[in-house]
Amino acid sequence: MPTLDLPLCVFVAVYGVMILGRVPGLGLDRTGAALLGTILLVAGGALDSPAAWRAIDTGTIALLLGLMLVSAQFRRSGCYDWLIRKVAARPTSPERLLLELVAVTGALAALLTNDVVCLAVAPVLVDICVRQKLDPVPFLLGLAAAANTGSAATLLGNPQNMLIGQALDLSFARYLLDGAVPAALGLGVVWWVLARAYRGRFERAQPLATPTSEPLDRGAAGKGLVVLLLLVLGLLFAPVPHDVQALLAGGAMLLSRRQRSRDLLALVDWQLLVLFAGLFVVNHAFQQAGHAAAAFAWLRHHGLDLGDPCALFATGVLGSNLVSNVPLTMLLLPVAEHPMAGPILALSTTLAGNLLLIGSIANLIVVEKANRLGVAPRGRSWAAEHWRTGVPITLGTLLLAAGWLWLRGRMLA
């Protein structure tokens, strides 16, 4: 009687939940599945406890935690609220307002992660639109798309970029040359597509439950800006590991006379950290059992060599919309051996998030906030409305990224 291949079974089950989002009939979501998979691997003897702990990339977890604390400081200080209202304060056309909001949110996402920016900005954006009798839908779609696109510019912009940077030991400055140009041009694509799609249809007065404005804590905001500036300078020029610098920045946020540590820690996305830890263990067991190498060899034999940059780029795009970008990135990192593999993975998995509503957590955050405030597209579901603009935005930004990566490859050859 054949013995149970526990690493393979757990891997298939966990990645099945990554595709579905949760287990049908149960409340088990992606994070719960990754954690349960880890427990089963240890309990079943596939890994012992020390091996499971060693499988977790503590550098990536530390980097994420430090940056989450910095981002939490900006949320607590009311900085996001103040900045977006400042942008929208002067009279202007809806198209110009959309352009400015796309630029600002894209820049914020590049340094403070796309999910956090969407979480903080979405309610403020709805309030601004209601006050100016504008339809919040195109602006919310612009927020999600700009946050995804802008986050591709740096290794701090989103979780998969942080993971890629840590795993491949990428230089922050070097990646900036690879990611900043397609991200900046991509923000132009986001604005152009949305401005054309909603031309003449920006106005819309409707009763909505608008959130209250948060006052700006200038001291806390100033502290956050100084620490963020020092962190960026350190990442560019200091030889200290990225994760150590991020933890120092996060630690500085905890030092406050007025703000309790628990309030700041409450804004940390512990679910994401647990998801990362669980996936590290599940993937390690899968690789240790030899299944990953066998799968990649099978793909090569059938004409899909992920060592080829074009194949890696295409797999990053398609796979991100199938199993989500973070799990896919972990899966593909063992074959990321091409000199441009880091930027290829980062740009393809990030920009692909604009294709489907479920392709990015940032998209889902925006829609969740919109639903809570009574915002909905006219005559369509959110998924259909997002698809209408998400497809051209994704195709345009991916073409820009592919062209820029080809040029960069030629420059470095």
State whether 397 and 387 are in the same domain.
yes
3-class secondary-structure state, position 157? coil
Is residue 38 located within the same domain as residue 133? no
Give the helix/strand (H/E) hosting 206: none
Same-domain pairing of 273 and 145: no
Which pTM value belongs to this model? 0.88
Quote the pLDDT of residue 104: 95
**How many residues in the chain?**
413
The pLDDT score that the predictor gives to residue 1 is 43
In a domain, 148, yes or no: yes
**pLDDT at position 299, please?**
87
Structural domain includes residue 85: no
Q: How far, in whole angstroms, is CA 276 from its chain's centroid?
A: 13
Looking at the fold, whether 197 and 327 belong to one and the same domain comes out as yes
DSSP 214: P
DSSP string, 165-184: HHHHT--HHHHHHHHHHHHH
Q: Is residue 297 part of a domain?
A: no
Check whether residue 168 and residue 196 sit in a common domain.
Answer: yes
Q: Is residue 84 part of a domain?
A: no
> How many whole angstroms separate alpha carbon 16 and alpha carbon 323?
8
Give yes or no: residues 188 and 236 share one domain.
no
* 396 shares a domain with 311: yes
Please tell me what DSSP assigns to residue 22. Answer: B
Q: Is residue 140 part of a domain?
A: yes
Identify whether 295 is part of a domain: no
> What is the rounded distance in angstroms from the CA atom of residue 108 to the CA atom of residue 183?
12
Tokens of 137: 């839908």
Q: Does one domain contain both 104 and 160?
A: yes
Containing domain of residue 357, as a range? Answer: 90-208+304-413
Does residue 296 fall inside a structural domain? no
Residue 299 belongs to some domain of the structure: no
Cα–Cα distance measured from residue 282 to residue 38, given in angstroms and rounded to the nearest whole number: 6
Task: Give the end-to-end CA distance of the chain in Å, rounded to a whole number.
Answer: 54
Among 258, 290, 322, residue at a domain's last position: 290
| 3-class secondary structure, 120 | helix
Q: Residue 205's pLDDT is what?
A: 57
Instruction: Tell me whether residue 146 is exposed, middle or buried, using C-beta atoms within 10 angstroms of its C-beta: 0 to 12, 13 to 18, 19 or more.
Output: buried
Residues 309, 238, single domain; the answer is no
Measured distance CA(123)–CA(284) in Å, rounded: 40
Residue 406 sits in the same domain as residue 347: yes
Mind listing the pLDDT tens digit of every residue in the chain (413 residues)? 456 789 999 999 998 888 888 888 888 988 999 999 999 999 999 999 999 999 999 998 999 899 999 989 988 888 888 988 888 887 888 999 999 999 999 999 999 889 889 988 999 999 888 888 889 999 999 999 999 999 999 999 998 999 999 989 999 999 999 999 999 999 999 999 999 999 888 876 555 555 556 678 889 889 999 999 999 999 999 999 999 999 999 999 999 888 889 999 998 889 889 988 999 999 999 999 998 889 888 988 888 888 899 999 999 999 888 887 888 898 899 888 888 999 999 999 999 999 988 888 888 889 888 888 888 888 788 889 999 999 999 999 999 999 999 998 887 76
User: How far, CA to CA in Å, does 303 sit from each of 298, 307, 308, 344, 406?
Assistant: 9, 11, 11, 20, 22
Residues 179 and 326 in one domain: yes
Domain count of the fold of the chain: 3
Of 290, 321, 342, which residue is a domain's last? 290
Pair (116, 154) in one structural domain:
yes
Residue with tokens 């441009």: 340
